[in-house]
Amino acid sequence: QQVQDLIDHKKVTLISDKAKTQLLFIPLISDNHPPFLFIGILDKEIDIIDYLVLSIIENMGSSTLENITLFKNSKKLTQEKERNRLARELHDGLAQILASTQIYLHFLENMISKENQNEIEILKKIKSLNTLGIEESRFILSELKGKPITASQFKEKIDEIIGLFIVPGNKIHINYQVELEEIPYRIYKMFLKILQEILSNIQKHAQASLINIHITNSKRQMILSVEDNGIGFDPQIFDEKGAEHFGLQNLQERVRILKGKFIIDSKSGRGTKIMVKIPYEENDSSIVWEGLEK
């Protein structure tokens, strides 16, 4: 309460104790910025000139806080204008190209004979991937306009990714327990990329028959866990095969930038578990390697 009183006083204040030591308080106040209180200890009394100089410092400090606020507001406005410009270019460029491509793919599908089932299946796959690209551009537009992703949209995209990247015959258990109305776009985007890369690696290398996918959230972070019963690998030689696992290494770096955790738990011959945790707010980050124990 005493500190708040000194801030509310809005003037340079001197308080002397019994040891004749003077405590100097200089409040830095701005209407649009949290206040600061500078505290100093003086071993001798100050004269009127010193007091005037300190008052000038107090006024300059308060003005600096105001200028900082104005700069932040100006920067935010500039970023908003740039986002709107990028959103317009994306809508008028890539989004239109993908939409036109989808139309031509639809025409092509009607032209292929029903007897050519292999060609039809490949075409359907291409259409699905193109649809994914269209949805991706829409979500990017939403992010550029400052709109988060709804929980239902997030769940739909997760199911779509799993459908596109899972090999027929694999058993998949999905545990989706997200208790959020909206998902921050940066988390949505990263989770989809990580899930795509993990499922792609399982297809190429794991020789797995069972995949468990768990997506949930806590009070501070979103959590993704993917575990398979494949052949696994030795994390110690991960760096030696950098080209083979470049996708995972790239994702690790992205998660690190988002102040999250990327945990790989694997052992040769005993499967692999990858867990990703991304905080809503940016906190400390780490990448952890562990041996899988079963």
Choosing from 27, 53, 77, the residue where a domain stops is: 77
Residue 252 sits in a domain whose CATH number is 3.30.565.10
pLDDT in tens, 87-144: 777 767 777 888 888 888 888 888 888 888 888 888 888 888 888 888 777 777 766 6
- Kindly state the helix (H) or strand (E) to which residue 144 belongs, with its residue range: helix 117-144
In this structure, which long-range contacts are made by residues 105-113, counting pairs with CB atoms below 8 Å and at least 24 apart in sequence? Answer: 105/130
| 225 CB burial (10 A radius; 0-12, 13-18, 19+) | middle
Residue 102, pLDDT score = 84
In a domain, 42, yes or no: yes
Query: Encoding tokens for residue 169?
Result: 């015959």
* Residues 235, 196 share a domain: yes
Q: Which has the higher per-residue pLDDT, 294 or 191?
A: 191
Query: What is the band of 76 on the pLDDT scale with cuts at 50, 70, 90?
Result: low
* Residues 160, 140 share a domain: no
* Residues 213, 166 share a domain: yes
Report the number of distinct structural domains present in the chain.
3
- Kindly state the helix (H) or strand (E) to which residue 47 belongs, with its residue range: none
Choosing from 107, 128, 147, the residue where a domain stops is: 147
pLDDT in tens, 170-189: 889 999 999 888 888 778 88
In a domain, 184, yes or no: yes
Q: Domain range for residue 54?
A: 2-77
User: Is residue 255 within 8 Å of residue 262, measured between CB atoms?
Assistant: yes
- What CA–CA distance (Å, rounded) separates 37 from 204? 60
In a domain, 257, yes or no: yes
* Torsions phi, psi for 207 (to 5 deg): 55, 40
Q: How large is the average pLDDT for residues 1-27?
A: 66
- Kindly state the helix (H) or strand (E) to which residue 175 belongs, with its residue range: strand 171-177
In a domain, 118, yes or no: yes
* Residues 230, 126 share a domain: no
* Residues 293, 155 share a domain: yes
In a domain, 86, yes or no: no
In a domain, 186, yes or no: yes
Which sign does the torsion angle of CA 282, 286, 287, 292 carry?
negative
* Residues 218, 160 share a domain: yes
CA distance between the termini of the chain: 57
In a domain, 174, yes or no: yes
- What CA–CA distance (Å, rounded) separates 210 from 2? 63
In a domain, 40, yes or no: yes
Per-residue pLDDT at 205 exceeds 70: yes
